[in-house]
Structure 1
Amino acid sequence: LPFIVYFFPVVSFFLSFYLKRDTISVAPVKVTVSGKIEVKRLVSLMSFYGLVTYLAVIVSFNLPFLMKEYHFDTGASGIIISLFYLAIMAPGFILNRVLSIFGSFTKCVSLLCMAGGMVLILLSGNEWILGLGAIFIGFGYGVIQPVVYDQTTRVATPDKVTLALAFVMSMNYLAILLCPTIIDTLQSLFHIHTQQFAFIFNLVITLLVVLGAYYRRHTFLFNDSCDNDKSLKKL
């Protein structure tokens, strides 16, 4: 049944044949500014977004196995993972308020939220606490994700924004690819068999990134209180 859900887009595919085609020819627009991307800032956004995604997806990859280790009903893991993705979506409704409250500390607080969620999962003896931990991780990631996308639109001229976003969003799938590989490799290398390792390892990394976010809170990557970056005018 979970796989049948992914056939739903077939409905949209067939409906697309009934979309009205616009046959009016449009005059070509003359581009007066050559495309430009601030590569250094784009790379920093890609690296940060890939790392945060790697830290977050541990919930969907390893939580079911951890629940089995805790002797919980693994069927509940599906509900908890659903809550995780719901929490990723939720910040979109209050993002402006979150940014206005935390300003340059937004990413730092979001990472702390993710770290708190991992602690709850590691120390939990209750399914409800596991769910709360997953929500914390999802919410923290759900704040960071759109902020990074917004920042990406400010490191490129309008005709290069799509390309810049494509590079950043590709890190999402790279993180999903690398996450189980890294965890499994480290577990095999050090002969670790507990599923807690994945969350402990990611918790340590998250706390290190929190420190980095705090000390670099006034840089472009972490200063989310700035609506406009003056240096972009040079583009």
Structure 2
Amino acid sequence: MNNHTLIFTLISVVLTIIVYMGASKLSRVVRSPFTTPILTTTILMIAILQFSGISFDEYAPAKDWITSLLGPATVALGVPLYKNKDIIKEKLMPAALGLIIGTLATIVSAVWLSKAFHLSETIQAASAVKAVTTPVAIETVMIIGGDPTLAAAFVIASGIFGAVFAPAILTLVKISDPFSRGLSVGTVSHGIGTSQVMAEGPIQGAVSSVAMGTAAIITPVVLPLLYRFL
């Protein structure tokens, strides 16, 4: 990486952080599913890149730097998990049952909907892994003959959709229990949803992080077998 590319990458990273901080402030001032920071930041960054004539390839190094922070960020989820371990142990059995049912329902519903709309088998395979984190989705979709790039796009879209709408839907159906809210979001919206529901409270964040990790373990195990029967 030459000096020009390095400077441009640093500027892009700083710009992305500034946009996200502004989006976070906006979400606190204007309470709405549509002001979720991850959604607002994504839209603004696309607009900035589009109007400034910066290609995705030019922005890609900054994206890679930011993505590399996902590992430490995921590990950091262990802090609220440890602090709320007693609550998680207390509800371990119903939570495990809910996780299994939720993971299976996510896979089955995605594939059935894809088939109902007569979408290609490639899209069906990609949609089946949309609820797990990107690295797991990419490896798992290749087992069932899907496209890793398309799977990653589905994962990101699923995460943003969950972060934007899941809390509002849970509130609408009068699910207020912190444990249940965290479990629901983490099961279907992986890290992006977890980052959003964590703003509600430490219990939601801790349970969502457990659900996210467990769903990422269950999916590669059951999907290759389940997909044959769908």
Whether TM exceeds 0.5 here: the answer is no
The structure whose RCO (Cα within 8 Å, separation 6+) is larger is: 1
Q: TM-score, normalised by structure 1?
A: 0.32
Name whichever structure is richer in helix by fraction: 2
Normalised to the residue count of structure 2, the TM-score between the two structures is 0.32
